[in-house]
A and B are shown apart, each in its own frame.
Chain A
Amino acid sequence: MSANQTVNLEKIQEIVERYGYDKSKLISILQDIQAVYHYLPAQALKLVAGYLKIPLIDIISVATFYRAFSLKPRGEHVATVCMGTACHVRGAPRILEEFERQLNLKKGETSEDGKWSLETVACLGCCAIGPVVVVDGDYHAHTTIRKVSNILHKYQK
């Protein structure tokens, strides 16, 4: 999946219309677009700039400022390792390293075959069950270095 995936014009317009072409709703609009395409295709951003009558550079500034957005396609599966303070103190960096080793990716990268993305998040607010790893929306509690391969295995099919 390239960063220049063609988008459905109507879909983008529908999303912008949903928020009444309101410029202040830019973040929500981008979130909805990302929910459909799993990232923000360049063409979508250009369309939004046109519909909302905002300079394209302003949209890019917003899209790159907030961590929730990705301008590059994400993998089919996304593994997010929580790097909050509590998880850090309980060994999150070593767990991230294990994910990096097993997926052969550095944090923030997506695999060539488009199957996996490895990301980190500053804190999910689930500190009691840390170290926490979220894979495709599933929360995994009390992760250890040795549990990583089992976790990945569940989604490998």
Chain B
Amino acid sequence: MKRLRKFKNVEDLRKTIQQQEATRQQETKKVITVSSGTCGQARGSQKVIEALKKALKAEGLKDQVIVRITGCHGFCEAEPNLIIYPDRIFYQKLTPEDVRTIVQETIKDGRVVEKYLYRDPRTKERAWYENEIQFYQKQKRIVLGDNIFVDPTSLLDYLAIGGFKPFLKALTEFHPEEIIQTVKKSGLRGRGGAGFPTGVKWEATRRSPGDIKYIICNGDEGDPGAYMDRSVLEGNPFRVLEGMMIGALAIGAREGFIYVRDEYPLAVRHVTLAVDQLYRAGLLGKNILGTEFSFDLHISKGAGAFVCGEETALIASIEGRVGEPRQRPPFPAQKGLWKKPTCINNVETWANIPLIIQNGAEWFSSIGTAGSKGTKIFSLVGKINNTGLVEVPMGITLREIIYDIGGGIPDGKAFKAVQTGGPSGGCLPASLLDLPIDYESLTAAGSIMGSGGMIVMDEKTCMVDVAMYFLNFLRDESCGKCISCREGTQRMWEIVKDISEGKGKPGDLELLEELALATKDASMCGLGQTAANPVLSTLRYFREEFEAHIYEKRCPAGVCKSLIRYVVIPEKCTGCEACKRACPTQAIQGTRKDVHLILYDKCIKCGACLEACRFEAIEAQRDEAIIIDKEVRL
């Protein structure tokens, strides 16, 4: 890597950007990009990278091929993957041995190796090139797309893809008010979940009296199942920092904080490296590029508290206190960090800013729907074939995301529900698959956009169990101040837990709804106010499932342990003894080639046998031994 030196002035930086861009565009060598975010590393990408470098050296190709290690590309299902440029051949799910073959066959001899290509789960066809892969086709990756082209640990690499041109534009061609008007006109709304118009928030902060103002990047992505912000912070931290610098110009802030979750060590590392490099390059600190603009950035780590994603709790955390939200008004824009006007935006929101400045408000507002402009990154996870991060224009339907991009549900199972908005959101059933994604339509359906988590569930997911899961999460993450939230989530959890254990009684659902309404109405902050959403949405769309648990003591999906027992299906059992070996309590009887039998007095319902069976010969069925409540409704 070239040594970074301080940029003396605007021209200095502009020239370097031009040079870097030119070098990149005129690259004649082959480039191999390997994705290596947290997930990639967990799947062995570092060994793959080592093997790649060794193989290239062995074949004498070290100087003819550039290896670029990037952050997450978003196609997590395919990790570790690599792309060979200029052809953009896409190879996936690689091991170090695979890489040696690839170097020999593709790099040296120019032949594509079919078995490493992506195969569409539905059509079973292979795709050679990245742009043929269905996963990418319906996406519009204006934010995430650059992850593929940049080494997140190198400022110069970021300049090579045109980085900091937007900042220079904002610095030299715009008055701060004009920057705000551009953001307002673009229609950008907060990507953290609430969807508040970003430009309006900036304006309110700028207009607040006082010389000292702060901006904060909310990287406390606490929604379980959501990791878009992690990917952006790991894979393109400079984009976020550039957005913050433009924001600082617009609002008049001279200090900023990036609050990153403690659970994201790689993101913390990359952001820290990026901030360091910006300081060394003179792009942070006093009199940046010799102008009047001074800006300092600090990194603040979270310590494991979901509630710290709430603005006032986040501020309390940066101030070294317990993450307890406080009453608003006054809003952070008026009195925030250390009682000064503060503007807090989500990682993805900041990442959109350079694009809006560079390409214009009209460009941005041409994407999306009337009320929701631009794109949104979603983490498509759960029971889905193509797990990964997808960036789509607002207005696309759930069906397109789940089936066209996501490749549908694996193992031939049926779609049951998709959960959006994390613990503040709700579950949407199959009847709403054609719902266009935008802030208003999701809220009207009983969910919310949220930060972008999209968890797909199939017929084997129990909605009572899902409701219980979220309530358990919320009762633990609640700060505990308001009795409505603390006791509300606890008591709702108790009721749903009883229902899942076959102890539900008539009147439970009505009590649940009453409690849900009280929690929503009486709580002070967003966590409590939306805590009831998972329960209310599952009751709205899957009430029969709750009723089956209560009145029939039956779990249709075969999940709630107290209501099921595992049964061997004689016609499918091949007598292979796999389940017997897997059972931790020796509860399975049967010799080789004989139909096996599960002994209920020993069975602890751990599910290991179901996992081990390759013939789908074990099923979770209703436990007939449960004593039926006196008021059975059939």
Contact = CB atoms under 8 A, between A and B. Distances in A.
Q: Do chains A and B touch in the complex (CB under 8 A)?
A: yes
Interface of A: 22-28, 30-31, 58, 61-62, 65-69, 83-91, 94, 97-98, 101, 121-130, 132, 139-141, 144-146
A128 B387 contact: yes
B43 A141 contact: yes
Contact of B612 (A89, A101, A141, A146): A146
Given A89-B383, A128-B39, A65 B322 contact: yes
Contacts of B453: 85
Interface stretch (B104-112, B140-148, B222-230): B222-230
A122 B422 CA distance: 12
Contacts of B461: 89
A88 B469 contact: yes
Nearest to B387: A128
Nearest to A69: B303
B252 to A, nearest CB: 22
B584 interface: yes
A146 B608 CA distance: 7
20 contacts: A26-B321, A27-B300, A27-B317, A31-B262, A61-B322, A62-B321, A62-B322, A65-B479, A66-B304, A67-B303, A85-B453, A85-B469, A89-B455, A94-B608, A122-B477, A123-B226, A128-B39, A129-B39, A130-B381, A144-B611
B323 interface: yes
Contacts of A140: 42
A26 B355 CA distance: 37
Given A31-B262, A66-B304, A139-B38, 14 more contacts: A22-B320, A24-B318, A24-B319, A31-B303, A65-B305, A85-B422, A85-B469, A86-B382, A89-B457, A101-B584, A123-B222, A124-B38, A127-B382, A141-B39
B42 A122 contact: no
B306 to A, nearest CB: 6
A19 B310 CA distance: 26
A58 B324 CA distance: 13
Contacts of B476: 122
A87 B608 CA distance: 16
Contact of B320 (A62, A68, A97, A125): A62
A125 B347 CA distance: 15
A84 B388 CA distance: 15
Given A97-B606, A141-B43, A146-B611, A127 B303 contact: no
B574 interface: no
A140 B306 CA distance: 23
A139 B37 CA distance: 12
Contact of A66 (B39, B43, B222, B323): B323
Contacts of B39: 126, 128-129, 141
Contact of A65 (B323, B457, B608): B323
A26 B301 CA distance: 11
Nearest to B41: A139
B38 A126 contact: yes
Contact of A122 (B43, B301, B306, B582): B306
A145 B606 contact: yes
Contacts of B323: 65-66
Given A85-B455, A126-B227, A141-B43, A23 B303 contact: no
Interface of B: 38-39, 41-43, 76-77, 79, 221-227, 230, 261-264, 300-306, 317-323, 379, 381-383, 387-388, 419, 422, 453, 455, 457, 461, 466, 469-470, 473, 476-477, 479, 582, 584, 606-608, 611-612
A30 to B, nearest CB: 8
Given A62-B322, A85-B225, A31 B301 contact: yes
B387 A27 contact: no
Nearest to B43: A141
Given A27-B301, A125-B38, A90 B382 contact: yes
Say what secondary structure dominates the interface of chain A.
helix
Interface centre among B39, B300, B584 (most CB of A within 10 A): B39
Contact of B582 (A58, A69, A88, A145): A145
Contact of A123 (B263, B320, B582, B606): B263
Given A89-B461, A145-B611, A125 B221 contact: yes
B388 A128 contact: yes
Contact of A68 (B79, B264, B303): B303
A133 B276 CA distance: 32
B247 to A, nearest CB: 22
A30 B422 CA distance: 29
A145 B306 CA distance: 28
Contacts of A26: 320-321
B224 A68 contact: no
Contact of B455 (A24, A61, A86): A86
A123 B381 CA distance: 13
A98 B607 CA distance: 10
Given A31-B262, A89-B382, A89-B457, A122 B222 contact: yes
A88 B453 CA distance: 14
A146 to B, nearest CB: 6
B606 A98 contact: yes
B224 A84 contact: yes
Nearest to B77: A128
A23 B303 CA distance: 16
A93 to B, nearest CB: 9
A99 B453 CA distance: 27
A125 B606 contact: no
Contacts of B322: 61-62, 65
A80 to B, nearest CB: 10
Contacts of B608: 94, 98, 145-146
A84 B477 CA distance: 13
A125 B230 contact: yes
Nearest to B265: A137
B263 A125 contact: yes
A67 B308 CA distance: 12
Nearest to B38: A126
A83 to B, nearest CB: 8
B226 to A, nearest CB: 7
Contacts of A62: 320-322
A132 B381 CA distance: 13
Given A26-B320, A84-B224, A89-B383, A125 B264 contact: yes
A25 B224 contact: no
B263 A121 contact: yes
A61 B316 CA distance: 13
B382 A85 contact: yes
A140 B38 CA distance: 11
A78 B607 CA distance: 24
